[in-house]
Amino acid sequence: MKDEHLEALLGHFKQLSASGTLVKLTLSKPRVKSNSLRNVFVKPVYIKGVRQLSFVYSEDNKHRTQNFSEEQAIDVLRQLLGGFRAANLLGIQADYEWLSSKNGTSRLTFRPVDSGREANLSHDREKKRFLDPRKPYWFSLGITSRDGVVLPSMQHKFKQVDKYIGLLDPLLPEEHKGILRVVDMGSGKGYLTFAFFEHLKARYGNNISVTGVEQRSELVELTNQIVLDHHLDGLSFVKGSIESFKLQHADVLIALHACDTATDDAIAAGIHIGASVIVCAPCCHKQIRREMLESAEKLPLFRYGILLERQAEILTDTLRALIMEKYGYKTRIAEFIDAEHTPKNIMLAGIKKKMRNGGERIDDQIAGLKAYYGITTHYLETALAKLKLL
């Protein structure tokens, strides 16, 4: 049977694309859990002056990109959406969310966006920015044109990275003796790593060392070549995974959207070396959710999948914050970016403080939460035990 809501979504996509007001389309929640294709991201790009739609396919920690015309994109999307249960369409003036249940029924919701998003896209120069788009490496990274103007298709990304730097800035020490060492675990294409390097260099001068850790060789080679091309002393990228990378020393440890327990591996590594600041944006809270399923019978709210998922995210990050406090970190949780851009928008930060009495009280809080929700262990405890810290 034809899905009218799906056809309506495609109609809105075509309209937004044609009018130049399309920001981004994200496909998520594969119908088949074993499917290697986890997400598809679609956004407008300009290639040699021709406007196209870029499809980025996320498959088991690998990404591949294909570009299509608008006519081709509609056909490709119709085929792809058959394999997903959720799609989020963002426009300058309105957002749409399509959700499909396991039995095939669907719904399409609409939400108008206030004028703030349009202002953010069209008047960047009037707002305070931490980053300078005129730096030549932003062109090499595909963010700007040769004359330092942020490309329409990258306005969102540049704004997100700039806002993240704004959130990190107050966590940094006012002064730092010697070299300030920063490690970005899972640096990907390097947008945040280059941005943090730019900000730190402006704040601390040459007394910085920023390292991006990424397991995909092609991205490590690409980002290191950009570093060489622009003579960015103090910035480098190395090949490695969050789980296996042997972290020796870092004053600031960042892990942006490390998947599932990789966030815990990063936090444990930061605690192990005594990093002054640990910042992560957790993603994919699967470990706790699996354990909570066993409590579904005695806790009625878990009978509803979406509530179980949200509660698992809250519980996972609460336990992370408490465990970090146990090891002497003052923690805070805040929005990384507006929820309208992505549901994965939580930033968990810890600042190393002098140890205070209260570890026993925190242990009791952790044990109480685990007992109530039927949790045997939080993976961060396992990661710390591996490092012989627990």
pLDDT along the chain (390 residues), means of 10: 86 88 88 86 79 86 85 92 91 87 87 52 51 93 88 86 89 86 93 95 92 93 94 95 85 85 90 93 80 70 73 89 93 68 70 74 92 88 83
What is the per-residue pLDDT for 44? 86
Contact predicate 124/159, CB 8 Å: yes
What is the per-residue pLDDT for 104? 79
266's CB contacts (< 8 A; 6+ apart) are: 185, 186, 242, 253, 255, 258, 278, 280
Domain 123-386 has CATH 3.30.2270.10: no
User: Using one digit for the tens of pLDDT, what is the confidence trace for 140-151?
Assistant: 999 998 888 888
Give the domain ranges of the chain: 4-113, 123-386
DSSP state at residue 227: H
The rounded distance, in Å, linking the Cα atoms of 37 and 60 is 7
Phi, psi of 146 (to 5 degrees): -60, -30
Q: Which of 246, 331, 322, 333 is nearest to 281 (CA)?
A: 333
What is the per-residue pLDDT for 235? 97
Helices (H) and strands (E) in the chain, counts: 12, 14
Q: What is the arrangement of strands in the sheet containing 22-30, beginning at the earlier edge strand? A: 62-68, 50-59, 37-47, 22-30, 84-91, 94-100, 106-112
The rounded distance, in Å, linking the Cα atoms of 220 and 296 is 43
Phi, psi of 302 (to 5 degrees): -75, -5
Question: In this structure, what token pair is assigned to residue 218?
Answer: 């092609």
What is the per-residue pLDDT for 141? 93
What is the per-residue pLDDT for 119? 33
User: Using one digit for the tens of pLDDT, what is the confidence trace for 16-44?
Assistant: 888 878 888 999 889 888 888 888 999 88
* Kind and range of the H or E run holding 368: helix 359-373
What is the per-residue pLDDT for 20? 79
How much of the chain is in helix, strand and coil states, percent to nearest 5? 40, 30, 30
